[in-house]
Amino acid sequence: DIQMTQSPSSLSVSVGDRVTITCRASQSISSYVNWYQQRPGKAPKLLIYGASSLQSGVPSRFSGSGSGTDFTLTISSLQPEDCATYYCQQSYSTPPGFGQGTKVEI
């Protein structure tokens, strides 16, 4: 199975900060990574698919990059509503596993 390792596991930031979350795959997965946001008590929401494509309706301050084994989710200017846990997920092979999550707090 492909393991997805996110870092950091949590971070404390301020409104307006640039935030970077990384995800490393245990083997090359091309660009088959998705990113999700989960606010407390809510279902996850798709932010980025295919490593860098922004899902419809998602603010442009979110962006994704990377290929192979190393991937990044960036929030260019953090807003209060971005306080959430973020998960990467690989779709390259079954099982389609998630990273352990990164909690972003203000």
Partner 1 sequence: QVQLVESGGGLVKPGGSLRLSCAASGFTFSDFYMGWIRQAPGKGLEYISYISGSGDTRYHAHSLKGRFTISRDNAKNSLYLQMNSLRVDDTAVYYCAREWDYCSGISCSSLDFWGQGALVTVSS
The residues binding partner 1 (CB under 8 A) are: 30, 32, 34, 36, 38, 43-46, 49-50, 53, 55, 87, 89, 91-101
Distance CA 82, CA 91 (A): 24
Closest to partner 1 by CB, 4 vs 75, is 4
* SS3 of residue 95 by DSSP: coil
Residue 5 bridge partners (DSSP): 24
Pull the structure tokens for residue 75: 């929030």
Closest to partner 1 by CB, 20 vs 101, is 101
What is the DSSP secondary-structure string of 30-70? TT-EEEEEE-TTS--EEEEETTTEEPTT--TTEEEEEETTE
Closest to partner 1 by CB, 11 vs 46, is 46
Give the nearest distance from C-beta 96 to partner 1 in angstroms: 5
Give the nearest distance from C-beta 106 to partner 1 in angstroms: 20
Give the nearest distance from C-beta 16 to partner 1 in angstroms: 28
Give the nearest distance from C-beta 69 to partner 1 in angstroms: 15
Residue 92 near residue 29, CB atoms below 8 Å: yes
